[in-house]
Amino acid sequence: MRRAFLFVLDSFGIGHAPDAAQFGDAGADTFGHIRARCAAGQGDAPGLRGGPLKLPNMERLGLLQAAQLAAGRQASDTGIFGFFGSAQEVSSGKDTPSGHWEMAGVPVTFDWGYFPDTVPAFPDDLVAAIVRKAGLPGILGNCHASGTEIITRFGEEHMRSGKPICYTSADSVFQIAAHEEHFGLERLYELCLTVRGLVDPLNVGRVIARPFIGDDTTSFKRTANRRDFAVPPPEPTLMDRVVAAGGRSLAVGKIGDIFAHRGISHLRKAPDNMAMFDAALDAMSDAGDGDLVFANFVDFDTLFGHTRDVPGYAAALEAFDARLPEALSRLQPGDLLLLTADHGCDPTWRGTDHTREQVPIIGAGPGLKPGSVGVRATYADIGETIAEHLRLAPGPHGNSFYNLMRADA
């Protein structure tokens, strides 16, 4: 039996990419800077965590060695029981769809449409069309912002006026925050569909519904009912290929939204990383021969990367690491577990946006040998490796490193 499990620690970069300067990110290092801050006592949070960053399970898989490779240094595999490496992105953006599509075998070779970091951020004719088609009294925000900060700024006015909060970021995205009860969840989804049609000519990657609850600025909280309305990938992805070969793709978290629900056999959602880990474990138990479990753990990015919360990010990493043995214990002969990321979001970096970084490749499986798989020139190598493991025909992008992991190679 052959099964594959791909876990994405959203935004867990391990050092700036070779082209990071083009994105203003030369020197960014999500993992390295969190680790350094914790070692210096700057990652402490009373009642949450303290001291050096403790990731023993990922380190046994080769996380430190992966970071060394990303920095251009040699890495010894002594004492490591997993395979390890790093991957560089060739897609033109540093956003969620670009990273996920590329690791699924479809690099983004075109330029997304972005909104300028100005106030207002959206063109007047676009805003006018949204207000007219959706029957709105207007919009709030109309700027670049983080999701938690803009709800604090405009949440109460939104509840009084009925105007949705619209904002963007350095990603190709149009985000809409609205109160689940005062505005209505289904109404928010319908609004996002309207906006999706209006921004298609602008080549915007995602329209995201960001529902929240609460009575005032002290109690506002985003809910797990987020939904991404994304454009579909331009070519067949790894999931399409799995399904075409008779297998199933079991998506956990926002994977379905990222791929416009194409090539997704079953979808499991959950409100936070630990609940998503539970869902991923359930998917592992349900998976059969030829199946792929593709899970995204989004809290690293949305709750701690964008908000530049080093202690929170460190605590989330430690919580994930503590549960990793549960996934490893479920591996059977013929299984492959691979951990990676889609981009960086260095919580020590300026601003609130993603950072252009290399991502880790670490993992294990019965019958797979430990050691380096090197520095990969594209995330697509991840998808091609999983494809070869599942005995799928090669795709047009990327090169498999499966032979480097096979014990009989």
**Calpha distance 360→30 (Å, rounded):** 11
**Calpha distance 204→169 (Å, rounded):** 12
For residue 389, name the pLDDT band (cuts at 50, 70, 90): very high
Give every CB contact of residue 278 below 8 A, 6+ residues apart in sequence. 270
**Calpha distance 292→64 (Å, rounded):** 27
Give every CB contact of residue 309 below 8 A, 6+ residues apart in sequence. 303, 347
**Calpha distance 346→16 (Å, rounded):** 10
pLDDT of residue 171: 87
User: For residue range 51-69, what is the model confidence (pLDDT) as tens digits?
Assistant: 999 999 999 999 999 999 9
pTM value is 0.93
Say yes or no to pLDDT of 80 above 80: yes
User: For residue range 278-332, what is the model confidence (pLDDT) as tens digits?
Assistant: 999 999 999 999 999 999 999 999 999 999 999 999 999 999 999 999 999 999 9
**Calpha distance 366→406 (Å, rounded):** 10
Q: For residue 319, give the 3-state DSSP assignment.
A: helix
